[in-house]
Chains A and B, each alone.
Chain A
Amino acid sequence: MELTRDEESALKGEQGEIMQMAYRILVATGEATDAEKLIPIEWAHLSGVNYNTIGDAGEEFLSSISNDARVTVKTTLNPMGFDIDNVANYGLDENFISKQLSIKNSYEIMGVIPSFSCIPYEIFDIPKNGTQVAFAESNAAIHANSFDNLKTNKESAFSALASAIVGKSPYSSIRKDDTPNIIINMKVKNPNELTYGILGFFAGKVGDTSVNISGLAEMDKRQCKAMCGGMGTSGTCAKFIFGDGDSDCEKIDFDEKEMQNVHDELNTAEKGDLITLGSPQLGLDEISDLTSMLKGRSFQKRCMVFCPRTVKEQAKKIGYITELERAGCEILSDCCTCLTPLINKENVDAVTTNSIKGAFYLKNSNGVDVNLKSLSQIVQDETR
């Protein structure tokens, strides 16, 4: 990698230990991903917030660097393990709560905006086309590259944090004009959000850094999100490009059979003990849709709904939250289905969800079975 004189000086430690460590991370990441230089970024989004995922080692690391480290660009943050407003209802142990609060505190000291959301693209203004950012959350990185006209690597928690501190990120292949070598033909008729989630999961498995997708009609926000969530879960792929691609592209069909294969891999139960909605977290439009679907109906079992705090506050003003709570929903902000410590296999055998990302992590990290179905099916089967 080519470094400027100033960057070399920081790497040698002439600008302090934190800058030296941050540059070490960027250079190691850049070398590993064949970047030739570092480029300025305007926004970093960090993962590595939930105590469930980063553990004691992560908590100690963040606590020790927070004395000196400060972010130098706009920096937003992924969900943590719980919603402080209702954590008392979920039987988490004291150790989890205090370690999680320490992590929250460390990020705030460093100057990070405590957004606790995996959908920064829905709750913050999107910068102008082509802006370089550094997003660690996989669904957000894919959304930024594919739908928001931004450019980002699929950053790790560490390269995003280093990018936030330095204000630069490695200039790797996905930031350049990327030509996918695979084209996926969408053959499934009448897709719903579950179909798009599965398509994303399938594309993430077969794609390398980016894929072409053809045969898609106009998608709504929910479908875009579902695709990004699914894709981020299954592989390293960081971008969709819509179109037919070059003629020498490898062509792969996504048909009913492929869809069934992914469904069978993730769907392991006939029904769930409880329902979760939101992985990625729900935005205001989805909360509004859900409120309309639940008009005059109530869930017959627990239904946990995850959304960002800002969305919950807006939804409360409009009256959606009262409606959803009447229908039996528990509304949680600051956390997400994905990697939640609030669902425990000691108490829960299976969870019903429409999220591919949620299904993957509930199964692999929480160790519970998953009943996968679309939102309209969930409302039909589980409400009266």
Chain B
Amino acid sequence: MNKILVAGKVQGIVLKSENPINFLGTVDKKTGIISDNNHNLFGKSIKDVILVFPSGVGSSVGAYTIYSIKSNNSAPLAMICQKADLTVATGCALANIPLITISNEEFNAIKNGMKISLDTSSSNLIQYQ
């Protein structure tokens, strides 16, 4: 379901994860690089991308991690999830990173490496370029 959790307008390249993300312990706070070698984005940086993933998992303290990543200028431009969870929702709210949830069909339609723009004030939340 489409929901706007944190408003904003950005454009950028999609980095898509099939796995959920546990921000506490999976992401390096300084560099934004995924440091968990069991994760399908292992070694990739989430800095300045539009991060698309099913949902957040794990400790709510992960919200502070999202805030830290942003303070270190290593945060994604925006996040797009299938399902809203409180950790990612509050983390993006703290860090002022736009966050929306989308339908399963649209989630499946977004591919890694696509260039998209996201505008939460537009009726068309996502524009493909």
Contact = CB atoms under 8 A, between A and B. Distances in A.
A382 interface: no
Given A32-B89, A55-B61, A158 B94 contact: yes
A21 interface: yes
Interface string B60-71: 110111011001
A56 B24 CA distance: 12
A28 B60 contact: no
B21 interface: no
Given A55-B64, A58-B64, A27 B5 contact: yes
A34 to B, nearest CB: 9
A31 B63 contact: no
Contact of A54 (B5, B61, B89, B92): B61
A32 B94 contact: no
Interface residues of B, number: 25
Contacts of A56: 68
Interface in A19-39: 21, 24-25, 27-29, 31-33
Given A21-B93, A156-B90, A158-B90, A31 B3 contact: yes
B37 to A, nearest CB: 22
Contacts of A53: 61
B89 A60 contact: no
Nearest to A47: B60
A318 interface: no
B84 A32 contact: yes
Nearest to A159: B90
A90 interface: no
Interface of A: 11, 21, 24-25, 27-29, 31-33, 48, 53-58, 60-61, 156-159
Interface of B: 3-7, 29, 60-61, 63-65, 67-68, 71, 84-87, 89-90, 92-94, 96, 99
